[in-house]
Amino acid sequence: MSLPGYFTKGIVRLVLAAVFTLTALAHGQLTAIRAGRLIDPDSGTILIDQIILIRDSKIERVGKGIDIPPNAVVVDLSRMTVLPGLIDCHTHLADGAHDGEPMGQFKKTAAQVALESVPNARAMLESGFTTVRDVGAYRALGDIALRDAINRGDIVGPRMFVAGAYVTISGGAGALTGLAPDIQLPWDLRYGEANSPWEVRKVIRQLAHDGVDHIKTLSSGAVLTHGSNPKSQEFTLEELQAAVDEASHFGLRVEAHAHSAEGIKNAIRAGVASVEHATMIDDEGIALAKQHGTYLDMDIYDEECIQEGGRKGNVPKDFLEHDAQLGQIQRDNFRKAVAAGVKMSFGSDAGVCAYGTSGKQFAFMVKYGMTPMLAIQAATSSAADLLGRSSEIGSIKAGKYADIIGVPGDPTADVRLLEDVKFVMKNGQIYKH
Ligand SMILES: [Zn+2]
C-alpha cells in the first residue's frame, strides 16, 4: 500500500468514525428490550411478545413485530414479565440508618445522616422502585440533596420527588418531641413548624424556594412520635386550606398524614391530593374521598415490622401503645375503601420496614381486597397520576422515561413475585439484570 493511500484510508476511517459518533450523539444510544409479557397498567391488560425501543432515557416505540435497528443493544427479557418501574408514594429515604427512635437524630450530624441515606436510595431502586414520593425527613432539606445527587449521577437511587420538611404544628406529629422544654432545637430540626394559616403559608413559601416537589402536612397525631395521639386532630381545616392554596401558587400538591377520622376529613375537605395512612377513615371520609377524587395512600404492610420490632425491643413502648389495634383497623378500612372504589396509591412508609422491602406490601393489598392488577396499578399508573407525572412515568409508552422492571412468571397470578425484582432499568440505564 502506498503511503498516500494509507493516509487516505486513515482519513476516511477517521471521518467515518466522526460521522458515526456525531450520528450517535444526534440520535442517542438505542436499546431494544424483548418482553415476553408486558403489563400495561393504563388498560389493565397483559401484552405478549412486545419490543420496547429506547433511545437514551426515553421510550421511543412499543409494539409487536417492531424491527430492531442493527445498532441497538438488545436486552432479552422474553422469558420475563416486564412492567413499568414501581412507584412508592410514601418513603423516608433521607433519615439515615435510623433504628425507629427519632431521638437518634440527636446523635448524628446532618452530614452523617445524609451519607447513611445513600444505601437507602440504592436498596429502593434495586428492589424495583424507580420512583419515590419521599414524604419528609427530620433534618430539613437533606432529601433535596439526596435527590440532586441521584440526578447528577453521583449516587444510585430512584427518581425522587421530595417534601423538604414536615409542615407540622409545634410538638405535632412531624416535630421532634420528647425533649425537655428548655432544649432549643437547631433550625433544620424545626424548619416546618407552623401554628396559623399564615405561618403555614410562610413555611410553604420557603420550601418552594428551596426547590421541593410537593408539600407534606400532618393533620393528626402519629404512631411513631413521642407524646403524640394518632386519634387527635392537629392542623385545623383553615390551616390545611391555607396549605393547599399556598402550595398551588407554586404548582405544588399537598399530602396530609392523618390517622384520625376528623383529621382525614379535614384534609380531604381542604383539597389535599392524598391522605397518608388514612387509618381510622369512617364511612363519611370514604364518601368524601370518592367525591373529591382524593387518593388514599395506606401503608398496610409496615404493621408487621412495628410488631416484629416490638418483640425484639427495638420499638419504643409508647409507639407500641399508640399502635395497638390500629394496624388491623387500617387494613379493614383499606378493604372498605377499595370496595367503595376510592382512588388508591401504593405507599409503604419505607423506613419503618427495611429499605428494599416495600414490595412485600403487594401481597397485603391483594389479601385486603385488591386484584393483583389493581395493586400493580396503585404502584404504577395511579401513583404517577397522584404525582401529576402521568406523561412521564407510570406505564411503558412512547415518550415516557424508560423506567422498566422485569420478573419471572406472572405477577398478576402471584403478586409476591414483585418482592424479588430481577431486572431494573431507570432512565434507560440498567441497574440490575
Ligand atoms: Zn411516613
**For residue 209, how far is its CA from the centre of ligand 1 (angstroms)?**
23
Residue 34 — pLDDT band, cuts 50, 70, 90? very high
In sequence order, which residues have a C-beta less than 8 Å from that of residue 332 and are 6 or more positions away? Answer: 368
**For residue 42, how far is its CA from the centre of ligand 1 (angstroms)?**
27
Same domain, 213 and 142: yes
**For residue 135, how far is its CA from the centre of ligand 1 (angstroms)?**
6
**For residue 182, how far is its CA from the centre of ligand 1 (angstroms)?**
27
Same domain, 47 and 108: no
pLDDT at 103: 84
- The whole-number average pLDDT for the span 249-261 is 98
pLDDT at 10: 53
Residue 52 — pLDDT band, cuts 50, 70, 90? very high
Phi and psi at residue 148, to the nearest 5°: -70, -35
Is residue 397 situated within a structural domain? no
Same domain, 128 and 72: no
Residue with cell 387500617: 330
Is residue 50 situated within a structural domain? yes
Domain extent for 66: 3-84+404-432
- Which has more pLDDT, 8 or 222? 222
pLDDT at 178: 86
Residue 323 — pLDDT band, cuts 50, 70, 90? confident
**For residue 116, how far is its CA from the centre of ligand 1 (angstroms)?**
18
Half-sphere CA count of 388, side-chain side, radius 13 A: 11
**For residue 25, how far is its CA from the centre of ligand 1 (angstroms)?**
42
Q: Is the model's pLDDT at 161 over the cut of 60? A: yes
The least confident of 37-41, 263-267, 308-312, 414-418 is 308-312
Each residue's pLDDT tens digit, 344-358 = 999 999 999 999 999
**For residue 94, how far is its CA from the centre of ligand 1 (angstroms)?**
12
Each residue's pLDDT tens digit, 129-160 = 999 999 999 999 999 999 999 999 999 999 99
CA gap 241, 313 in Å, rounded: 40
pLDDT at 22: 46
H-only helix segments in 81-129: 110-116, 118-126
Phi and psi at residue 52, to the nearest 5°: -110, 115
Beta-strand runs (E) in 228-382: 253-258, 274-277, 295-297, 344-345
Q: Is the model's pLDDT at 21 over the cut of 60? A: no
pLDDT at 325: 85
Is residue 237 situated within a structural domain? yes
Q: How many domains does the chain have?
A: 2
**For residue 297, how far is its CA from the centre of ligand 1 (angstroms)?**
10
Torsion of CA 33, 36, 40, 46, to 10 degrees: 170
**For residue 167, how far is its CA from the centre of ligand 1 (angstroms)?**
13
Same domain, 230 and 132: yes
- What DSSP character marks residue 237? H
- The whole-number average pLDDT for the span 10-33 is 61
Same domain, 344 and 411: no
Same domain, 268 and 155: yes
Is residue 392 situated within a structural domain? no
